[in-house]
Amino acid sequence: MLTPGFALLRRDGSKYLHIPILYDMGICMKTTIDIADSLLLEAKNISSIENTTVRALVEEGLREAIKKHTARGAFKLRKATFKGKGLQPDFSPEQWSKIRSAAYEGRGG
């Protein structure tokens, strides 16, 4: 079994990092992610300075990314009204087929 945060080498010599990722509910899921060597070294330095683990930094980063993507809020349709007094006298709201025909007149509709 691999130790959390253990860097491994592939046949081609490139490195990959095996990090088990824990969910808040206590379920452990292991996954492998490719991280650029420079980024991994920087993460290791920060984890050593802050007395934490690379796994904790990865989890923190994922939580921030997820928070950013889910915090966008609901879609809000902008107000697109114009000044006027409603439909032209030739049209009434009950005559949608006539309105549609006029809207697409000369456009293949």
Q: What is the pLDDT of residues 52-94, one digit of tens each?
A: 999 999 999 999 998 888 877 777 888 887 777 777 777 777 7
Q: Is residue 28 over pLDDT 50? A: yes
Query: Global pTM?
Result: 0.43
Which residue ranges make up each domain of the chain? 6-70
5-22 burial, b at 16+ Cβ within 10 Å, e below that, comes to: beeeeeeeeeeebebeee
Confidence (pLDDT) at 26: 58
Greater confidence (35 vs 89) lies with 35
Confidence (pLDDT) at 29: 74
Residue 56 has which token pair?
């904790």
* CA-based nearest residue to 18, from 6, 9, 27, 28: 6
